[in-house]
Amino acid sequence: MSDTQSGELKKTPVDNESWMNNPLWYKDAVIYELHVKAFFDSDNNGVGDFAGLIQKLDYLQDLGVNTLWLLPFYPSPMRDDGYDIADYRMVHPEYGDMADFRQFVKDAHRRSLKVITELVINHTSDRHPWFQAARRAPAGSSKRNFYIWSDSDRKFPETRVIFTDTEKSNWAWDEEAHAYYWHRFFSHQPDLNYNNPQVVKAVIRLMRFWLDRGVDGVRLDAIPYLCVREGTQNENLPETHGVIKQMRAVLDKHYRNRVFLAEVNQWPEDVSDYFSDGDECHMAYHFPLMPRMYMAIAQEDRHPIVDIIRQTPDIPETCQWAIFLRNHDELTLEMVTDKERDYMYQMYAGDPRARLNIGIRRRLAPLMDNEINKIRLMNSLLFSMLGSPIIYYGDEIGMGDNFFLGDRNGVRTPMQWSPDRNAGFSRADPQRLYLPPIMDPVYGYGAVNVEAQLRERASLLNWMRRVLAVRKNHPAFRRGKLVFLHPGNRKILAYFRVYEDDIILCVGNLSRAAQAVELDLSAYQGCVPVELMGRSVFPPIGELPYLLTLPGHNFYWFQLADSEEVPAWHEEHLPLEELPTLVLFDGWRSFFRDRVEPWRVAMAERVRGQLEKDALPRFVVAQRWLDGRGEPVRCVTIGDNAEWRYEDCQWLLALVGVEGATGEKPPSYFLPLALAWENGDPERLHAMSANTVAKVRRQAQLGILSDAFADQVFCRALVLAIGAGRTLACERGVIRFLPGNAYAGMAGAGAAELPVRTAAMQGNNTTVVLGERLFLKGYRRLQIGTQPEFDIGRFLTDVAKFPNIAPLAGAVEYESGDGGCITLALLQGYVENQGNCWVYTLDYLARFIEECRTEVASPIAAAQAHGAYLVLIRTLGRRTGELHNALGTATGDAAFDPEPVTDNDIADWVRHVQAEAVVTLDLLDRLKNELTETVREVALTLLAQRNLLADHLQNCIGGRQVQAVKTRCHGDYHLGQALLTQNDFVIIDFEGDSARPLSERCRKHSPLKDVASMLLSFSYAAHTAHTHDSAERTEDWTKFEPLLREWEAEAGRVFLVAYDEAVHGSELLAASSSRRGLLDLFLLEKALYAVRYELDNRPDRAFIPLRGILALLQQAVNGGS
């Protein structure tokens, strides 16, 4: 297999046919190996059967497998667990009959489960009629020639004995035939003579017999040994390949989408011959890979895996490897060196009784010492390496073994379904069971069983279901190329799986201890890694090595997405060596031609040009607070500004204009700048370096020019200036530092010494926390007028005394020469909190979904299911009502006193929403063909109800008299604006919708606009949680959607009830009927606006508000409004 460089990967076409009709279905297979007798006993005779297997098909479907490989179920003396077949055309009577088998195939196919059965063609049982006839027939006769006979046991001396523990020779004497017969395995399993064309024809007839009964594939057992020839080792002979090609030709001629799975326990270069040019076997086991996965774990070194994959030749596009960790046989060590075999025995079979033939008769969990992380890591390798994975029954729950049972029976014990009698496998008396179940205290069925693990969210079984669901959604795991990375830490195994645009990075820690690794991912610079098991977003990939840390025996699967948003907490910073160096010959005056000596004007113009056309555009374009982020920035011009000095530090407080490529009037931003020098405070320099705008030089002294909000001294100076009520003159205006009434009580003594840290979440503004006492917000995008957050904060803090907000401590405002006012910064009291209600809700819903996935009890009503969460929502509703009561307090302040809602107000509101509807539906109509199928379907439904929407908007109020008032409102109210603090809420961010002009945000309106926004936020939360969960488990979409809708409805109902109770008796709202109409109007307004926003920014999420609009229209049709 070529070890291609990651930048040279080729893409392979995607096959879009359905799973059952896909001719390459085996490349997407997840195979579950089981023995009918071991799975479930339906008639309580102590032996599993087809009727029992049928009862468990739903379990297998829910597990996430899609193909079932059945071990031999034919009549047999059972001296080799059914591989000694006495009749190829019948079902063993203890397992059922042919009708049961046909029903099983039918029921499996109904669940989209493929079926692979055994075609044991190398040998038969010595009880088979063919052999019985052969031993009685004369030497040289056609019947005798069905098998290989000799007068001497010295023939074929070059051929090795496989079962060295039980067989001394490949020849066995038959008394009746008076001759030796050839057997490569047990002496009771005589080999068929494939040098005889009649044998080939007979076997092909057997193959067709089972294919005609609907099986999707056959496993060709032990096929390297079919043909023999003097002077050879009698393995992998050309004649053998000729037989397989003959069988394949019949298969292709008479059947569609059927498969040969080859058991070829050979080295990769020999196995690849069984693919030939795609005209022999479709699949073959990769035997050498399996023991090397165990070796890599034991050695804590990736070399065994990487080395064997490198030795693996390329195979035809239509072929596939089958890979496994364990199966019904011993863990074979034939395909390792003698030293490797000794090492494996030492590490995994210290007790000699665990050794059998050339292998180890243990299951996966005991081999991994029952350490859950090691078991998960091994399965992660199984599910992400090249090939279709095979799961051995019971390994999904970590079943143990019992090598005291002899032969390989210790890994073939009954499936452990429950802690009931006989592990829930059978109701028969224990002594009647074909084998006793595992009963020890660690692996026994009382401790390890399906029933218990289904109920335990963190169980191995539920983890297996999740990881298989993730794998199912990514074709890279199934059909992609594998490309190894080569980090310096050899304890880390890292590789890409790449298929078209599906790029998966797999990283595994083979060590028991935590490890760090640096990965060269530069080929995917700019991509954002999304961890697939939890959908967590990691920082984007850059030019430097990507650093990861992994706990012991742990792994990551990342999808590298070029369209994923980077984490909210991540900040981009330019490396210092890439930044320009500005020569500051006269401090801040170096940037201004009118502040320097005449002979230095040219130098000032040059430095100013470097700053505005190079350094600032580089810096600004990477900031989250820039509108139209991602668009090119041509120039950042310094407007009005002021130099400000505090102690030994100097800053430039600048209002800047950001010019894009369009040449439109540039928007204004607040960008204070700071200088730090290398010979100054090293801690200050280090803290500011992450927000460096440019390097600077003053004579021989070097330093940096930085965003001043990264300067702790600046932030403290700002706070002190607010407290002192200072004024700072600018070139054309003035900056005023305005203390609030509560400043002294919040800032307290020692404000100049408060530690400063940047808040975790940054967005349109820059936020800084000072000593867990104060919260400083710097507004970046500037608009003329006082920020509503300043106005409302001052009113609620100083006048209404509303306790559930971050109290106002002060502000910084810029007043222009013409009297216009702009808020630059706001100072509030810091609120200790547990995060916002949006994050809390998503986490809660994720836990709820996971509980539903593992819950076996009957579903309960939403009010009961979400009782604890709804207590918080009741509190949120009450606090919202109390906030509106506070904002509706009459104090004589015209800016805040409530005003009655007039008929003109109602008419204006309705006309506004009608206009919103026209614009939104027109946009939807234009874009409908560009939407995803899910969104388009909902969009077309709404477009078809355009007239109904218009009628509903006209009749929302319905001519009823509205008795209500309008007040100042929050303006952008949603779950993210409520901080959870000790089972209560603090409401924050009274800026309103920053996309709207300040004049509109300061306008009085009905408080119900805030209520509508919050109700829509519940809808967004439900959809986001559902989408997040279903991203890797699409089959769960319909299962959980009704539950989340019930949650949304109940959360909204509880919120409204608590809100109504809080505002009851006030004059805020109208009587019940008109209030419902108003709320519907504002819900539609908010949803229509959200549709346009999502179509412009996140089209896939337009489904949420579209669905909300349709639900409101349905209520109207049903008379709910």
**In three state form, how does the secondary structure of 300-334 look?**
CCCHHHHHHHHCCCCCCCCCEEEEECCCCCCEECC
3-state class (DSSP) for residue 1087? helix
The residue count for the chain: 1121
Mean of the pLDDT values across residues 298-318? Answer: 93
| Cα torsion 815, 817, 819, 821: sign | negative
Mean of the pLDDT values across residues 552-563? Answer: 92
Residue 578 DSSP one-character state: G
Top pLDDT among 943 and 851 is at 943
Task: Tell me whether residue 174 is one of the annotated catalytic residues.
Answer: no
| Cα torsion 80, 86, 88, 93: sign | negative
Q: Which of 198-207, 218-227, 550-559, 923-932 has the lowest mean pLDDT?
A: 923-932
Q: Measure the CA–CA gap between 1048 and 1117, rounded to whole angstroms.
A: 21
pLDDT band at 763 (very low <50, low <70, confident <90, very high): confident
Q: Measure the CA–CA gap between 55 and 40, rounded to whole angstroms.
A: 8
For residue 7, the model assigns a pLDDT of 36
CB neighbour list of residue 241: distance below 8 Å, 6 or more residues apart: 273, 274, 276, 280
Closest CA to 1005 of 914, 913, 1071, 1091: 913
CB neighbour list of residue 781: distance below 8 Å, 6 or more residues apart: 625, 627, 667, 668, 669, 764, 994
Give the 3-state secondary structure of 579-605: CCEEECEEEEHHHCHHHCCHHHHHHHH
| Cα torsion 1006, 1011, 1017, 1023: sign | negative
CB neighbour list of residue 955: distance below 8 Å, 6 or more residues apart: none
CA distances in angstroms from 709 to 288, 629, 713, 872, 1093, listed in the order given = 59, 20, 9, 35, 31
**Residue 695 token pair:** 């390097």
Closest CA to 985 of 1112, 819, 803, 810: 803
**pTM above the 0.85 mark?**
no
Top pLDDT among 577 and 983 is at 983
Q: Above pLDDT 70, what percent of the chain?
A: 94
For residue 4, the model assigns a pLDDT of 36
**Residue 926 token pair:** 């234009």
pLDDT band at 8 (very low <50, low <70, confident <90, very high): very low
For residue 282, the model assigns a pLDDT of 97
For residue 1070, the model assigns a pLDDT of 66
Q: Which runs of E-coded beta strand occur in 223-380?
A: 259-262, 283-285, 320-324, 331-332, 355-356, 359-360
For residue 425, the model assigns a pLDDT of 97
Identify the top-confidence range among 324-333, 621-630, 902-911. 902-911
Among 41, 80, 216, 221, which one carries the catalytic annotation? Answer: 221
| Cα torsion 622, 628, 630, 631: sign | negative
pLDDT, tens only, 869-886 = 999 999 999 999 999 999
Q: Measure the CA–CA gap between 274 and 269, rounded to whole angstroms.
A: 10
pLDDT, tens only, 473-530 = 999 999 999 999 999 999 999 999 999 999 999 999 999 999 999 999 989 998 999 9
Closest CA to 487 of 303, 296, 297: 303
**Tokens 């608590």, residue located:** 1058
For residue 15, the model assigns a pLDDT of 39
Mean of the pLDDT values across residues 16-42? Answer: 90
Top pLDDT among 567 and 904 is at 904
CA distances in angstroms from 623 to 565, 574, 637, listed in the order given = 14, 11, 16
Q: Which of 150-164, 433-447, 753-767, 904-918 has the lowest mean pLDDT?
A: 753-767
Task: Tell me whether residue 221 is one of the annotated catalytic residues.
Answer: yes
For residue 714, the model assigns a pLDDT of 96
CA distances in angstroms from 1033 to 62, 473, 536, 559, 944, listed in the order given = 11, 7, 15, 15, 32
Which uninterrupted H or E stretch holds 1050?
helix 1037-1063
pLDDT, tens only, 800-847 = 999 999 999 999 999 998 888 999 999 999 999 888 999 999 999 988
Top pLDDT among 714 and 577 is at 714
Q: Measure the CA–CA gap between 449 and 1056, rounded to whole angstroms.
A: 45
Q: Measure the CA–CA gap between 746 and 749, rounded to whole angstroms.
A: 9
Q: Assess whether pLDDT exceeds 60 at residue 436.
A: yes
Q: Above pLDDT 90, what percent of the chain?
A: 69
Mean of the pLDDT values across residues 373-378? Answer: 96
Mean of the pLDDT values across residues 561-567? Answer: 77
Compute the mean pLDDT over every residue in the chain, rounded to the nearest whole number. Answer: 90
Q: Assess whether pLDDT exceeds 60 at residue 413.
A: yes
For residue 265, the model assigns a pLDDT of 87
Which uninterrupted H or E stretch holds 516?
strand 515-519
Residue 967 DSSP one-character state: B
Which uninterrupted H or E stretch holds 979?
strand 978-981
Top pLDDT among 1116 and 615 is at 615
For residue 114, the model assigns a pLDDT of 97
**Residue 193 token pair:** 């003579």
Taking a C-beta distance cutoff of 8 angstroms, is the pair 989, 1028 a contact?
A: no
For residue 565, the model assigns a pLDDT of 74
Taking a C-beta distance cutoff of 8 angstroms, is the pair 465, 379 a contact?
A: no
pLDDT band at 576 (very low <50, low <70, confident <90, very high): low
CB neighbour list of residue 597: distance below 8 Å, 6 or more residues apart: none
Q: Measure the CA–CA gap between 326 and 411, rounded to whole angstroms.
A: 9
**Residue 320 token pair:** 């596939």
For residue 958, the model assigns a pLDDT of 66
Q: Which of 230-234, 684-688, 949-953, 1066-1070 has the lowest mean pLDDT?
A: 1066-1070
CA distances in angstroms from 212 to 29, 90, 215, listed in the order given = 22, 14, 7
pLDDT, tens only, 988-1035 = 999 988 878 888 889 999 999 999 999 999 998 998 888 876 656 666
Which uninterrupted H or E stretch holds 1025?
helix 1008-1030
pLDDT, tens only, 75-91 = 999 999 899 999 999 99
Taking a C-beta distance cutoff of 8 angstroms, is the pair 471, 383 a contact?
A: yes
Helix axes 1072-1097, 946-955, angle to 10 degrees: 140
Closest CA to 312 of 127, 486, 482, 564: 482
Mean of the pLDDT values across residues 1073-1099? Answer: 85
Q: Measure the CA–CA gap between 157 and 160, rounded to whole angstroms.
A: 8
For residue 563, the model assigns a pLDDT of 73
Taking a C-beta distance cutoff of 8 angstroms, is the pair 755, 765 a contact?
A: no
Mean of the pLDDT values across residues 104-127? Answer: 96
**Residue 928 token pair:** 């409908």
Q: Assess whether pLDDT exceeds 90 at residue 129.
A: yes
What strands, in cross-sheet order, belong to the sheet with 355-356? 331-332, 359-360, 355-356
Closest CA to 476 of 532, 541, 519: 532
For residue 809, the model assigns a pLDDT of 95
Among 263, 659, 789, 916, which one carries the catalytic annotation? Answer: 263
Closest CA to 185 of 126, 232, 271, 268: 126
Q: Assess whether pLDDT exceeds 90 at residue 3.
A: no
CA distances in angstroms from 853 to 16, 240, 1023, 1045, listed in the order given = 29, 50, 17, 16
Determine the distance from the C-alpha atom of residue 876 to the mean position of all C-alpha atoms in its chain, rounded to a whole number.
Answer: 31
For residue 1030, the model assigns a pLDDT of 65
pLDDT band at 1067 (very low <50, low <70, confident <90, very high): confident
